[in-house]
Amino acid sequence: MPNQIPPTFFFGGDYNPEQWSREVWQEDVRLMREANVNLVSLGIFSWANLEVADGDYRFEWLDEIIDLLHKNGIGVDLATATASPPAWLTTAHPEILPMTAAGVRQNHGGRQNYCISSPIYKAKAVALVAQLAKRYSKHPAVKMWHVNNEYGCHNPRCFCDVSAVAWREWLRAKYIDLAELNKAWGTDFWSQRYHEWNQILPPRETPAGTYPNPSMVLDFHRFSNEQILDLFKAERDEIRRHDSVNPITTNFMSLRHAWLIDYWMWAKEVDFVSTDHYLIAQDPENYIDLAFQADLTRGFAGGNPWLLMEHSTGAVNWQEHNLPKANGEMIANSLSHIARGSNGAMFFQWRQSVSGSEKFHSAMVPHAGTDTRIWRDVVKLGQHVSSLVDLGGSPTDQAQVAMVFDYDSWWAMSQRNLPSTSQEYWKLPYDWYRALWQLGIRVDFVSPDATAEDLANYRAVMMPNVYLLSDQQEQQFIDYSINGGSLFVSYFTGISDRSDTVKLGGYGGRLVRETLGVQVSEFAPLNNDVIVQLDSGLKAFEWAQFATARADNASSKFENGVAAGQVAISKTSGNPNWYVGTRLDEESTKQFFSNAMHELGIDRAGGDGVEVIRRGGVRFEIDNINKTVSWR
């Protein structure tokens, strides 16, 4: 039952009242009212204060603060408080602490310190959730549930013996027959064939310079993702037993850097999608990164509204140099998320902590108090958000271009022993997205499981580095093109099937050979700093290859390097589809897409730092250079 987001706008942030006195609570609610705060995420890291010893629950303080918030008209996004197990639990059960691939048990003292396969952790978490859900599900302040926090952020995998048992169970359920597993993983390589299920271990560290079987690692990522999802489902289902009304979400991290959770799969399990986003302060074009990730989140939400659960008012505390935001930047960031479908803007966190490792992370109420530019902007933003509340039921207008984003390809490409160590999954999708962004062309993201029918809504579909494609997935893209859509397929797309077994007979499978009319026979990755010239005038780096194209294709070729004379870019005749067999530099990517988008008649709006986005009849214009936003 996805996407039951309330059709309204939320403004507020993570609230950690246990760090503060009762006097401060009074000031908090007064200031929240002043800033138009209507929702706080409460109790995310409160387990140690809610259950002080096994089964010894202390809810009085939570009762008090929820009542106080309610009296002041502030809603609660109630967290299940399970993100960090308390010391009494890890002391009694040190075996719930996660283990690294090198076999090192991690310690208590940070956060998210649990093994994702631990039945003990799961049982204790669900027991706490049961108490919370029973006690608060009917409280009028509670507007939604916030399960755990950023699942998979610090402990996405565990390599301990308990995890090994769960892993083997998962494999047995997937393959049934050990012979099928041996086939899928290609275990005749390096004497890896398994003759008994219990011979299979998690992909733990192997002798230096050797790596675990890549198909196994890919499956281990899938297993870990599903183990974590099972934790979410256990909490969600427990809440549902007591509360059939309030929507349940968990905050994703749809960052291109947070990669071990398959949010396409997760989005089907939450009532609505919510996510966290933090700017990379040093990146001078970090607003493009923001746009990419907000658009990706809207993709997970199936185009429906979603909620920005956390972002920052200013500097974070975990980058190399924690730069503040420029004047106007926070408001521009928040409104860019809103234009892209967020039903409001939430922050980490309400009041800046005085202790702990996040004390130098910005907040809505800074250390210096309310006579500050941050507080003044918070108040101003609160007014903007409440003035936009009518947009709560309206999605962002659909784009004409879709881009495939694929976690399995990312997981397979994150391994060693690819043709080049320069290859990283997200780089090419980001290059292409950035060029389209600069041209003022909006992008929607779709899953690799999109059907030809889903894709038919788009004039063009981008397939950058979709390394793994099953025959069934491939067919959908082929059909999309047959039905008149235009594909943009990059090198290193369609190379292997979903077990990471290479498809023979020319790289890229039927999609590249038949639909694109390109025969790729050998990769020719480039050394760092080598630039190759194309006969069309475009410049490229990192990747070349030996390829030929059908005679009726319009092709451009590499002019220099070992692959000189080979096809670099090729366009089919008739209904055009493009094959891009190299990594174009920034200017060339822009030029290439500018021409191709013109040929397809795709609309452009804004560009050069200014974005124009429409949602529910409102036209947002975000000037990312001057950090100003207007809407009408």
Q: 């997205």: which residue's tokens?
A: 433
Q: Residues 365-394 vs ligand GAL: string with x where CB under 6 A? A: ------------------------------
Nearer to ligand GAL, 358 or 559 (CB): 358
Nearer to ligand GAL, 48 or 610 (CB): 48
DSSP state of 104: P
CB-based closest residue to ligand GAL: 348
Q: How far apart are alpha carbons 41 and 35 in whole angstroms?
A: 16
Instruction: For the CB of residue 457, give the shortest distance to ligand GAL in the complex, in Å.
Output: 33
Q: Binding of ligand GAL at residue 150 (CB under 6 A)?
A: yes
**Binding to ligand GAL in span 120-149, by CB under 6 A:** 149
Q: Binding of ligand GAL at residue 364 (CB under 6 A)?
A: no
Q: How far apart are alpha carbons 413 and 409 in whole angstroms?
A: 6
Q: Residues 310-339 vs ligand GAL: string with x where CB under 6 A? A: x-----x-----------------------
User: Residue 495 in contact with residue 465, Cβ under 8 Å?
Assistant: no
Q: Binding of ligand GAL at residue 358 (CB under 6 A)?
A: yes
Residues identified as active-site: 150, 310
Q: Pairing between strand 545-549 and 606-607?
A: unpaired
Number of other residues whose CB lies within 10 A of the CB of residue 530: 13
Nearer to ligand GAL, 33 or 154 (CB): 154
Nearer to ligand GAL, 114 or 631 (CB): 114
Q: Binding of ligand GAL at residue 474 (CB under 6 A)?
A: no
Instruction: For the CB of residue 12, give the shortest distance to ligand GAL in the complex, in Å.
Output: 14
Nearer to ligand GAL, 152 or 494 (CB): 152
Q: How far apart are alpha carbons 261 and 253 in whole angstroms?
A: 9
Instruction: For the CB of residue 415, give the shortest distance to ligand GAL in the complex, in Å.
Output: 26
Nearer to ligand GAL, 276 or 542 (CB): 276
Instruction: For the CB of residue 350, give the shortest distance to ligand GAL in the complex, in Å.
Output: 12
Question: 261: Cβ–Cβ under 8 A, 6 or more apart, which residues?
Answer: 151, 152, 156, 225, 228, 252, 253, 407
Q: 């429906």: which residue's tokens?
A: 304
Instruction: For the CB of residue 311, give the shortest distance to ligand GAL in the complex, in Å.
Output: 9
Phi, psi dihedral angles at 269 (to 5 degrees): -105, -15
Instruction: For the CB of residue 426, give the shortest distance to ligand GAL in the complex, in Å.
Output: 19
Q: Hey, is 417 helix, strand or coil?
A: coil
Q: Residues 428-467 vs ligand GAL: string with x where CB under 6 A? A: ----------------------------------------
User: Residue 401 in contact with residue 436, Cβ under 8 Å?
Assistant: yes
Instruction: For the CB of residue 315, give the shortest distance to ligand GAL in the complex, in Å.
Output: 10
Question: 64: Cβ–Cβ under 8 A, 6 or more apart, which residues?
Answer: none
Pick from 277, 340, 361, 498: which binds ligand GAL (CB under 6 A)?
361
User: Residue 543 in contact with residue 439, Cβ under 8 Å?
Assistant: no
Strand order from edge to edge, sheet including 567-571? 443-446, 401-404, 460-463, 486-490, 578-580, 567-571, 554-557
User: Residue 236 in contact with residue 147, Cβ under 8 Å?
Assistant: yes
Q: Binding of ligand GAL at residue 77 (CB under 6 A)?
A: no
From residue 33, alpha-carbon distances to 12, 29, 52, 165, 375 in Å are 10, 6, 32, 51, 13
**Binding to ligand GAL in span 269-288, by CB under 6 A:** 276, 278
Applying CB under 6 A, the site for ligand GAL has a residue count of 9
Nearer to ligand GAL, 149 or 570 (CB): 149
Question: 15: Cβ–Cβ under 8 A, 6 or more apart, which residues?
Answer: 28, 40, 41, 42, 349, 350, 351
Instruction: For the CB of residue 8, give the shortest distance to ligand GAL in the complex, in Å.
Output: 23
Nearer to ligand GAL, 151 or 578 (CB): 151
Q: How far apart are alpha carbons 263 and 299 in whole angstroms?
A: 10
Nearer to ligand GAL, 77 or 474 (CB): 77
DSSP state of 312: -
Instruction: For the CB of residue 358, give the shortest distance to ligand GAL in the complex, in Å.
Output: 6
Q: Binding of ligand GAL at residue 348 (CB under 6 A)?
A: yes
Q: Binding of ligand GAL at residue 167 (CB under 6 A)?
A: no
Q: Pairing between strand 578-580 and 567-571?
A: antiparallel
Phi, psi dihedral angles at 284 (to 5 degrees): -65, -20
**Binding to ligand GAL in span 291-310, by CB under 6 A:** 310
The footprint of ligand GAL (CB under 6 A) covers 149-150, 276, 278, 310, 316, 348, 358, 361
